[in-house]
């Protein structure tokens, strides 16, 4: 069972604290997820993120209803945090968010997702399709984050 890694980088013209605060608000996850996934946070909000916080979600992927539970396993504001799936369609899902101050009011936001597919070796044969789906989701996230945090009139 192969471990796959997805990475994304996005530079935003905001302070590291402002960018971190956006990601630390769990409600924003619904805002930055493609609408066709019908993604909803089940855990009552507001959710105070910290190490050990559990968050339950539900979504639909290709018509299939899925439940997902993550735990915040690392919490280091405003530098980084990591969420790991305890329940998901993946054998492993570890998503690390890192925020680097490039200069005053300019922050590099990085995502690194380490994931493994279930049902090895058959799951790995479907990786091409899974990767396309993940690329679509993370491309949508970046576009939406930019639209929310970097309006055109800035």
Write out pLDDT tens, residues 105-130: 999 999 999 999 987 766 777 787 88
- Domains of the chain with CATH codes: 4-149 (3.30.530.20)
Q: Is the peptide bond before 78 cis (omega within 30 degrees of 0)?
A: yes
Low-confidence winner among 58-62, 85-89, 123-127 (lowest mean pLDDT):
123-127
**Which pLDDT score is estimated for 150?**
85
- What is the arrangement of strands in the sheet containing 64-76, beginning at the earlier edge strand? 4-12, 106-116, 92-103, 80-87, 64-76, 54-61, 40-41
pTM, to two decimals? 0.92
What's the CA gap between 130 and 115, in Å, rounded? 11
**Which pLDDT score is estimated for 153?**
54
């Amino acid at each position: 069972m192969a471990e796959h890694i997805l990475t994304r980088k996005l530079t935003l013209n905001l302070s590291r604290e402002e960018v971190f605060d956006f990601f630390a608000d769990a409600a924003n996850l619904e805002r930055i997820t493609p609408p066709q996934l019908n993604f909803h946070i089940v855990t009552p909000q507001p959710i105070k993120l910290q190490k050990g916080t559990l968050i339950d979600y539900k979504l639909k992927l290709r018509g299939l209803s899925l439940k997902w539970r993550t735990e915040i396993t690392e919490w280091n504001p405003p530098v980084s945090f990591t969420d790991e799936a305890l329940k998901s369609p993946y054998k492993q899902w570890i998503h690390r968010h890192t925020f680097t101050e490039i200069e005053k009011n300019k922050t590099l936001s990085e995502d690194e997702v380490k994931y493994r597919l279930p049902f090895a070796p058959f799951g790995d044969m479907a990786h091409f399709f899974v990767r396309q789906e993940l690329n679509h989701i993370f491309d949508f996230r970046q576009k939406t984050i930019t639209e929310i945090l970097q309006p055109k009139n800035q």
